[in-house]
Amino acid sequence: MRILLAEDDQMLSNGVTMALSQNGYLVDHVKSGSAADSALTQTPYDAVILDLGLPDMDGLEVLTRLRQRGQATPVVILTAREAVPDRVNGLDLGANDYMTKPFHLDELEARIRAVLRKDSWSNQTEVRYGDFVYDTVGRRLYVRGEPVDLSAREVAVLELLLQRINKVVNKQQLTEHLSSWESSISFNAIEIIVHRLRKKLLGSGCNLRTIRGLGYILEPPQ
């Protein structure tokens, strides 16, 4: 899961980035509204954490432009503006949630999880195909009732494949999903992750198939 953090307070940004990274999210950080706007036109993010008081373009303007482009990326507004009209305005412009500063990192993470779940899993708390069960809240895989250890990258690949089950996902899409500005991932690395993940799915009934020249497809049991 790749998240854009638009926030000009460096200390706060460091804290949020560290907390989210520890939980397996990839975070790209920008400090101005125009940088957020251009990042959002270039990269398919899974969610945006958006400060409103940003240099050179207000956060509400960033949000307006995002929705005008028809992008449905979930947005959590993070701001010191706590007046009711500000909240109403933010939500009316298409924000999915709104948090006022100061806040607890745990609560921000929970809200991010909630908007991601709503967006990706239509609010399901688990995805079940016979012996394959994926807990979308705890982000844990169970095969025949047994928990399976997955790395953060394996989780990211599995989630993308699950969200597009029975559809081909190409290496470029996986690369964009698994890279941040600070760490980009190669096609080779993707192949290794998929190889490991395929082994871990043995016995689940779900088949992770390579479509030569196109990408990968996750097929549920017949």
Contacts to Ca ion by CB under 5 A: 8, 51, 53
- What's at 121, amino acid-wise? W
Check: CB of residue 77 under 8 Å from CB of residue 50. yes
Burial label, 156 (beta-carbon count in 10 A; 0-12, 13-18, 19+): buried
The nearest distance, CB 51 to Ca ion, in angstroms, is 4
Detail the DSSP E strand segments found in the chain.
2-6, 26-30, 47-51, 75-79, 97-100, 126-129, 132-135, 140-143, 146-148, 207-211, 215-219
- Nearer CB in complex with Ca ion: 7/28: 7
The nearest distance, CB 8 to Ca ion, in angstroms, is 5
Residue of 109, 81, 105 whose CA lies nearest to 12: 105
How far apart, in whole angstroms, are the C-alpha atoms of residue 68 and residue 60?
12
Residue closest to Ca ion when measured from CB atoms: 53
- Nearer CB in complex with Ca ion: 8/131: 8
Residue of 82, 75, 73 whose CA lies nearest to 60: 75
- Nearer CB in complex with Ca ion: 53/203: 53
Q: Phi and psi dihedrals of 38, rounded to 5?
A: -75, -35
The nearest distance, CB 123 to Ca ion, in angstroms, is 31
- Nearer CB in complex with Ca ion: 46/51: 51
- Nearer CB in complex with Ca ion: 8/191: 8
